[in-house]
Every structure is written in structure tokens, then in C-alpha cells.
């Protein structure tokens, strides 16, 4: 190839390079100057402001309630789409979600939404729960900013807890409460509050769905964070178990069965050793379990067995407990021998039953020892 041809190729390539650089610079300029939100899309600040105004209008009960309802629904969907995306669009970038979260904190909108949940329409209630739970789960490194925020606004939690008083929002509040209960700092605020004791009433309401949902939240609060729960039960033993006793004596079958099953789980958890020791030292508790072993319901019998076995297996039985077992020694051996014999394939149950029979047979009074 001669030198003129090489020179010609170099000139062409040079022109292409200059043109490419110009296009690239123009593109970068366009991207840099492109707004985060198109003209048709509201910014987080705008949508939060619009939603707050609409909720305030609902709360005031203005004449234009229908318009306020519509605006609440529309803006909730807008926020939900920012967080979750739609079939056609992706969720917004982290920077946008961060702005949205900050606007929600600054405006106190999370509290306002849960306080006015009953006034929001059916789909809107579900959207509130979805938005709340998404923002709650948001993390920056190891931090959970919304958890930190709610710790400074515990009335959000107390408002959600009282949601079980209202049939139309109970299940929505339950969804948000169980999400909150996943975080120890929030669970601690809830169980150490006076409002926690309302759960002993909520789990017995006549509406089955609400009672079951309340029990799920109640159980989550007492079992998810083992050390927190153990400390709480130790410090508040008398108050908690005086309430719990009423659940075990409830006329509602589901309440009795669920609370008995949960009691067994709590007593057998190694973190609750101190609580377990105290519970199985009380002769009234033993009498209750012995009576529940004879219930008509086989499910209640079975759950009572798992609590009763803790009394028998205790190597350091207090004298009142030992006296009751000795007085009923022969009856208990006969009863347990015939107890749930159809569970032949349940190896663990049969091993435990055989162990209890052996322990009861070997019982001796304190004087004999």
C-alpha cells in the first residue's frame, strides 16, 4: 500500500473519531441534564405531598370525600409502582426510593396512613400494607432506616396493634405488625408496652380470621427473638401467665388448642429455662395439664401431653409436684399405657411416653429417698 493511500485512510478514520467523540459528548450532556422524573411522572416529594393532602381531606370529612378517596387511591398506587414496578416498568432506582422514604419520614405520612386506614377503600388498605412493608424492609448497608424511624415514633406500632379492635382493618394491620415483629427493636417496644396485653383479648374475638391473625402476631412476638422473649417472660412472669391461664381455660376450642401448643413450645425452648422451671414448680399448673390430658379433644390431649412431660421429666421436682404425681401414680401409669395407642408410627411420641411411664413407676416419696 502506498503512502498516499495510508494518508487517505488516516484522514477518514480521524473524521470518524471526531464525529464519534462529538456524539458521545452530546449524549453525556443529554443524560446529565435529563431529569430523574419525566414531565408526566411526579417526584417523590410531589406524590407524598399529594397523598398527605388527600388523607387529611379524608380525615376532615370534607364534602369532596369521593374525590379525596380517589386521590388517596391514585397516589398510593403511584407510590406502590415506584417501589414494586409494574408489568411494563421496573421499580425506581435506589436514589428515588431513598428520596421517597425520606419524604415519608419527614411528612409523618406513615402514621397518618395507619391512623386513617379505616377511611381508605379496600384496595387502598392493601396498598398501604404493601408500601409500609416495602419501606420497612429497606436497608442501607446493615442499617434499616425505617426501623430506626419507627423507634422514634412508637405510636405507629400502637396504632397498628389497636387495629385488631376494628374488623375492617384488622388483617391489614396484622400483615404490617408481623413485618415489624421481625425486627427486634420494634418487637421489644411492642411486648413491653401495656398494649401487648390486649392480644389476650384479640385472640378470643368471635371472628375466626381475626382471632387467628391476632394469634399469629402474638406468637411471632413471643418466639422470633428468643433472648428478648425469655427476658420479657422472666420479668413479667406473673402478669403474663395470669393472662395466659385464661386462654388455657377458654371456652373457645381453637384458642385453647393454639395457646396450649404455644405453651409447650415456650417451655421446651432452652432460652426459657428459668420460665420453664418456675412454671413446672406450680402444682396448679400440673393439675390443669392432668385435666387437659382427659379432654374429649384428642388434639388438646396431645398438646397437654407435651407440657405434662416437662413436669415428669424434671429431676428436681418440688414436694407439692411430687406429692400429686405419687397420689396418682397407678392411675397415671394405667392412663398413659392406653394413651393414644394408635400413634404407633410416631416414634418420638412413643419413646417419650415409655420414658414417662418408667419415670412415674420409679417415683418415690421424699421420705423414702
User: What average pLDDT does range 26-48 have in this prediction?
Assistant: 57
**Cα–Cα distance, 278 to 180 (Å, whole number):** 30
Return the pLDDT at 299: 96
Return the pLDDT at 95: 92
Could you tell me the CA-to-CA distances from 364 to 81, 125, 315, 329, 354 in Å, in that order?
A: 70, 62, 12, 10, 18
Tens-place pLDDT, residues 87-101: 888 888 889 999 999
Tens-place pLDDT, residues 280-306: 999 999 999 999 999 999 999 999 999
User: Would you say the C-alpha torsion 57, 164, 211, 190 has a positive or negative sign?
Assistant: positive
Nearest residue to 363 via CA among 331, 316, 329: 329
Please enumerate in sequence order all residues whose Cβ is within 8 A of that of 144, keeping only pairs 6 or more positions apart, or say none: 136, 137, 138, 183
Return the pLDDT at 38: 46
Tens-place pLDDT, residues 171-210: 999 999 999 999 999 999 999 999 999 999 999 999 999 9
Neighbours of 145 (CB within 10 A): 16
Nearest residue to 308 via CA among 331, 287, 338, 334: 287
**Cα–Cα distance, 244 to 239 (Å, whole number):** 9
**Cα–Cα distance, 286 to 289 (Å, whole number):** 5
Cell numbers placing 29: 450532556
Cell numbers placing 252: 373457645
pLDDT of residue 369 exceeding 70: no
Cell numbers placing 345: 408410627
Return the pLDDT at 63: 66
Return the pLDDT at 328: 96
Cβ 201 vs Cβ 245: under 8 Å: no
Return the pLDDT at 364: 84
DSSP for 97-121 reads HHHHHHHHHHHTHHHHHHHTGGGS-
Return the pLDDT at 64: 80
Cβ 49 vs Cβ 107: under 8 Å: yes
- Produce one character per residue of 18-41: b if its CB has 16 or more CB atoms within 10 Å, e if not: eeeeeeeeeeeeeeeeeeebeeeb
DSSP for 186-226 reads HHHHHHTSGGGGGHHHHTT-S-HHHHHHHHHHHHHHHHSSH
Nearest residue to 134 via CA among 88, 175, 195: 175
Burial class (CB in 10 A: 0-12, 13-18, 19+), 186: buried
Rg (CA), the chain: 31
**Any idea what DSSP says for residue 164?**
G
In three-state secondary structure terms, 236 is: coil
Cell numbers placing 123: 384496595
Cβ 181 vs Cβ 227: under 8 Å: no
**Any idea what DSSP says for residue 2?**
-
Amino acid at each position: 500500500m502506498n503512502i498516499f493511500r495510508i494518508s487517505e485512510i488516516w484522514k477518514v478514520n480521524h473524521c470518524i473519531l471526531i464525529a464519534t467523540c462529538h456524539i458521545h459528548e452530546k449524549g453525556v450532556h443529554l443524560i446529565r441534564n435529563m431529569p430523574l422524573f419525566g414531565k408526566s411522572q411526579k417526584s417523590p416529594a410531589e406524590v407524598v405531598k399529594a397523598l398527605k393532602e388527600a388523607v387529611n381531606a379524608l380525615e376532615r370529612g370534607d364534602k369532596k370525600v369521593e374525590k379525596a378517596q380517589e386521590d388517596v387511591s391514585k397516589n398510593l398506587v403511584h407510590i406502590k409502582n415506584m417501589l414494586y414496578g409494574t408489568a411494563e416498568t421496573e421499580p425506581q432506582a435506589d436514589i428515588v426510593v431513598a428520596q421517597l422514604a425520606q419524604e415519608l419520614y419527614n411528612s409523618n405520612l406513615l402514621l397518618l396512613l395507619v391512623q386513617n386506614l379505616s377511611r381508605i377503600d379496600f384496595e387502598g388498605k392493601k396498598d398501604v400494607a404493601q408500601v409500609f412493608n416495602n419501606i420497612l424492609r429497606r436497608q442501607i448497608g446493615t442499617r434499616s432506616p425505617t426501623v430506626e424511624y419507627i423507634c422514634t415514633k412508637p405510636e405507629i406500632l400502637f396504632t397498628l396493634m389497636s387495629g385488631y379492635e376494628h374488623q375492617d382493618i384488622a388483617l391489614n394491620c396484622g400483615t404490617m405488625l408481623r413485618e415489624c415483629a421481625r425486627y427486634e427493636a420494634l418487637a421489644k417496644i411492642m411486648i413491653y408496652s401495656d398494649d401487648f396485653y390486649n392480644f389476650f383479648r384479640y385472640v378470643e374475638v368471635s371472628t375466626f380470621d381475626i382471632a387467628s391473625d391476632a394469634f399469629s402476631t402474638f406468637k411471632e412476638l413471643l418466639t422470633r427473638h428468643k433472648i428478648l422473649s425469655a427476658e420479657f417472660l422472666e420479668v413479667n412472669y406473673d402478669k403474663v401467665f395470669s393472662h395466659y391461664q385464661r386462654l388455657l381455660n377458654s371456652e373457645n376450642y381453637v384458642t385453647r388448642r393454639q395457646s396450649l401448643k404455644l405453651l409447650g413450645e415456650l417451655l421446651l425452648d432452652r432460652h426459657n429455662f428459668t420460665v420453664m422451671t418456675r412454671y413446672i414448680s406450680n402444682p396448679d399448673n400440673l393439675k390443669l395439664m392432668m385435666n387437659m390430658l382427659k379432654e374429649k379433644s384428642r388434639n388438646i390431649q396431645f398438646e397437654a401431653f407435651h407440657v405434662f412431660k416437662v413436669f415428669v421429666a424434671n429431676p428436681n421436682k418440688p414436694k407439692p409436684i411430687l406429692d400429686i404425681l405419687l397420689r396418682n401414680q397407678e392411675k397415671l401409669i394405667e392412663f398413659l399405657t392406653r394413651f393414644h395407642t394408635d400413634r404407633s408410627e410416631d416414634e418420638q411420641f412413643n419413646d417419650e411416653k415409655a420414658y414417662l411411664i418408667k419415670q412415674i413407676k420409679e417415683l418415690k416419696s421424699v421420705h423414702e429417698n
